Chain A
């Protein structure tokens, strides 16, 4: 299941939907808003997406993960809109019969999402400066 949401992410609900009798391992990755980066203080991150393409690409990543590893369920939920420090911005859950597949697939899925999916964040700091984050590899 792949979702983009403007609501707070409820982890217990996600786990309830993913933990299943065929899988002995469930790995949950949570991305959260980091308030402190060296001397900088972040007040919020605001996310936007090219939503139809983002949903399609995340689903494609999940499908590829299912081909690469023997996994049971896979779920991705990503926040849109304004997120305050410590709020969950993205959750990836994978389940598998054994932990190696669950860890490897969860790690791969979040890496692929961060590298390729059209979602962007704008950071607001405690001086009320806002900057869109666009990592550029020269």
Chain B
């Protein structure tokens, strides 16, 4: 299946898009998804190690299982204010 991941900030600049779509079996744990993104998108670089994943607007932990049709977002370190 395909999963679309929203990206922000420098991540968006590095892939020249506000989302990335990757093919994977679902469900997949957050930690496995991050590994997959790292292998498929090396241009995201070291910043990926400092990113968090969110599913449906809630922060995921490493073991959170990501299901089909969930909104997934890759969040780099924040800098609001």
Interface residues of A (CB under 8 A from B): 31, 47-50, 52-54, 56, 78, 89-90, 110, 113-122, 132-136
Contact = CB atoms under 8 A, between A and B. Distances in A.
B20 to A, nearest CB: 15
Given A52-B57, A53-B73, A136-B50, A31 B10 contact: no
Given A56-B57, A134-B77, A136-B47, 12 more contacts: A49-B80, A50-B73, A52-B57, A53-B57, A89-B81, A113-B80, A114-B80, A115-B78, A116-B78, A118-B8, A119-B81, A120-B76
Nearest to A49: B80
Contacts of A49: 80
A48 B9 contact: yes
Contacts of A78: 80-81
Contact of B47 (A47, A53, A119, A134): A134
A92 B11 CA distance: 29
Contact of A47 (B58, B73, B80): B80
Contact of B9 (A53, A113, A116, A134): A134
Contacts of B58: 53
Interface residues of B, number: 18
A126 B57 CA distance: 36
Contacts of A133: 79
A49 B54 CA distance: 13
A49 B79 CA distance: 10
Contacts of B54: 50, 53, 118
Given A50-B54, A50-B75, A31 B81 contact: yes
30 contacts: A31-B81, A47-B80, A48-B8, A49-B80, A50-B54, A50-B75, A54-B80, A90-B80, A90-B81, A113-B81, A117-B78, A117-B80, A118-B73, A118-B80, A119-B78, A119-B79, A119-B81, A120-B9, A120-B79, A132-B10, A132-B13, A132-B76, A132-B79, A133-B79, A134-B10, A134-B47, A134-B50, A134-B77, A136-B47, A136-B77
